[in-house]
């Protein structure tokens, strides 16, 4: 089921950056966006390294990675935005855009994640679920948490050529 069927796109949302600035996702129009719910104390946290490597490899070709910290799973993201930003930059040298902590499931689910889950396979099951979004804001593919950034490389390379 594509997001186009729902009459909207990822670009319809404005999210708060990790620095507290309103960031319209429409500012990513024309780019390939990988939306990821992240956590600092998860078994998948080392994926930050692979995500940063993908970003460095493909950012000049139009890839943006958007990290959304979430504390929905076993309290694996307990920090404040400032603590999360410090962790990501010092431990993993993250330079891709990070956003303010949100909820990715449940009654307080962020509208962006309500849209993502309703248009691509249901609830988020764990941290590091990834959504590959095309240059028009439509969801191309969903990757579950166990899929590593390295395993997504060919899908990203292919999508960048479209």
Ranges of beta strands (E only) in the chain are: 14-16, 22-24, 32-38, 63-69, 130-133, 139-143
Rounded distance between C-alpha atoms, residue 159 and residue 6, angstroms: 21
SS3 content of the chain, % helix, strand, coil (to 5): 35, 20, 45
Confidence (pLDDT) at 7: 55
Average pLDDT over residues 52-74: 98
Rounded distance between C-alpha atoms, residue 75 and residue 42, angstroms: 9
**Catalytic residue at 42?**
yes
Q: Which element (helix H / strand E) includes 67?
A: strand 63-69
At 91, list the tokens.
Answer: 């431990």
Average pLDDT over residues 87-98: 97
At 101, list the tokens.
Answer: 């902590």
Average pLDDT over residues 76-91: 96
Percent of the chain scored above 70 by pLDDT?
A: 96
What is the Cα 124 distance to its own chain's centre? Answer: 12
Average pLDDT over residues 114-140: 94
Q: Which domain holds residue 59?
A: 3-160
Rounded distance between C-alpha atoms, residue 43 and residue 148, angstroms: 12
At 83, list the tokens.
Answer: 């603590």
pTM recorded for the entire structure: 0.94
Q: What is the CATH number of the domain that holds 50?
A: 3.40.30.10
Confidence (pLDDT) at 4: 42
Average pLDDT over residues 81-101: 97
Percent of the chain scored above 90 by pLDDT?
A: 92
Q: How many domains does the chain have?
A: 1
What's the N-to-C CA distance of the chain in angstroms? 19
Q: How confident is the model at residue 121 (pLDDT cuts 50, 70, 90)?
A: confident
The one catalytic residue in 4, 8, 31, 42 is: 42
Average pLDDT over residues 99-127: 95
Confidence (pLDDT) at 3: 41
């Amino acid at each position: 089921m594509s997001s186009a069927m729902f009459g909207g796109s990822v670009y319809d949302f404005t999210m708060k950056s990790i620095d507290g600035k309103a960031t319209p996702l429409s500012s990513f129009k024309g780019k390939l966006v990988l939306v990821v719910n992240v956590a600092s104390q998860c078994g998948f946290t080392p994926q930050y390294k692979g995500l940063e490597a993908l970003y460095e490899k493909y950012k000049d070709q139009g890839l943006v990675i958007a990290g959304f910290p979430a504390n929905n799973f076993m309290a694996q993201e307990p920090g404040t935005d400032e603590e999360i930003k410090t962790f990501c930059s010092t431990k993993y040298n993250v330079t891709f855009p990070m956003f303010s902590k949100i909820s990715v499931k449940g009654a307080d689910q962020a509208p962006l994640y309500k849209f993502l889950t309703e248009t691509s396979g249901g609830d988020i099951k764990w941290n590091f679920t990834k959504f590959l979004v095309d240059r028009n804001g439509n969801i191309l593919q969903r990757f579950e948490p166990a899929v590593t950034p390295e395993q997504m490389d060919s899908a990203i390379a292919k999508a960048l050529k479209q």
